[in-house]
């Protein structure tokens, strides 16, 4: 399982999100599209936590294709106060939305260091108040190519064409598509090791371009729209994943994402380009 946590304020600060914010910032069903984190559009904020078990499957292995079952659970939280852990884990008051959108992905080697990663997810989400539920789906095709190394520094080029949609039970259905381009680096940190595992420095940069502009006019005057985002992050990782009963990870990283009036800071434990 991979788990990541995102924060928009320094430790000890509080992010307060009303039910109106969660409903209006962007449709809560799209939390999987923006990834785990706390997001701010203008003066409005929303906090999302995503936990995603990943189970390897064994068919198609004879053709060199790796297949995985992904079981992402996404939680929308009303408040996050790192100075009071009790408020965070008191789900009776803090939990606003829950989504479960299982799916599968495939790792298909094409030629040399070029790998294609198609995926498809479909599931459901609920507001804990009972006000609304929604069908949620997303699918896409990601590509990873390892470029010629710069000395000891390895670079992967990542591209993705991604589609997201939601069908609420009491509101209008909609969807959007985006194009992702980015680079992820890897540099072994000499003799630095943890529990016998080589440490690595893993920076990344990414650009998200939306084919159809996402608007935030319900809570912003004048209208705030999201057409593109940029993200930059830095992680310290290890050669082999550490697997626990409830999660697995191979790095600890912090990323900043911004576009227009949208800002976010995320903490992640696996590649942002899975």
Q: Answer yes or no: pTM beyond 0.85.
A: no
In sequence order, what are the beta bridge partners of 174? 166
Higher pLDDT, 33 or 153: 153
Least confident among 15-29, 67-81, 92-106: 15-29
Evaluated on CA atoms 186, 189, 191, 197, the torsion sign reads negative
* Residues 84-120: tens digit of each pLDDT: 444 444 555 677 788 999 999 999 999 889 999 999 9
Higher pLDDT, 66 or 18: 66
Q: Cα(141)–Cα(118) distance, rounded to whole angstroms? A: 4
Mention every residue, 6+ apart, whose C-beta is less than 8 A from residue 90: none
Mention every residue, 6+ apart, whose C-beta is less than 8 A from residue 103: 69, 70, 72, 119, 120, 121, 122, 123, 138, 139
* Residues 231-253: tens digit of each pLDDT: 999 999 987 777 766 567 888 88
- DSSP code at position 118: E
């Amino acid at each position: 399982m991979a788990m990541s946590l995102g924060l928009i304020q320094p430790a000890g600060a509080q992010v307060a999100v009303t039910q109106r914010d969660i409903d209006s910032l962007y449709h809560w069903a799209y939390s999987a599209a923006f990834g785990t984190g706390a997001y701010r559009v203008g003066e409005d904020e929303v906090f999302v936590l995503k936990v995603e078990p990943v189970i390897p499957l064994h068919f198609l292995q004879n053709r060199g294709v790796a297949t995985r079952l992904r079981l992402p659970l996404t939680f929308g939280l009303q408040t996050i106060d790192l100075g009071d852990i009790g408020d965070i884990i008191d789900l009776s008051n803090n939990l606003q939305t829950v989504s479960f959108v299982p799916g599968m992905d495939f790792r298909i080697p094409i030629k040399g260091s070029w790998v294609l990663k198609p995926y498809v997810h479909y599931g459901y989400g609920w507001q804990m108040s009972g006000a609304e539920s929604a069908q949620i789906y997303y699918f896409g095709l990601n590509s990873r190519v390892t470029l010629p190394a710069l000395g000891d520094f390895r670079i992967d080029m990542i591209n993705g064409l991604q589609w997201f949609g939601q069908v609420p039970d009491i509101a209008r259905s909609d969807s959007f598509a985006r194009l992702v381009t980015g680079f992820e680096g890897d540099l072994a940190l000499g003799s630095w090791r943890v529990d016998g595992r080589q440490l690595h420095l893993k920076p990344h940069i990414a650009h998200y371009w939306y084919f159809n502009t996402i608007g935030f006019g319900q809570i912003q005057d004048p209208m705030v729209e999201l057409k593109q985002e940029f993200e930059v992050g830095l992680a310290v990782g290890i050669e082999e994943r550490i697997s626990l009963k409830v999660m697995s990870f191979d790095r600890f990283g912090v990323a900043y994402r911004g576009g227009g009036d949208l800002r976010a800071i995320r903490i992640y434990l696996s590649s942002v380009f899975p």
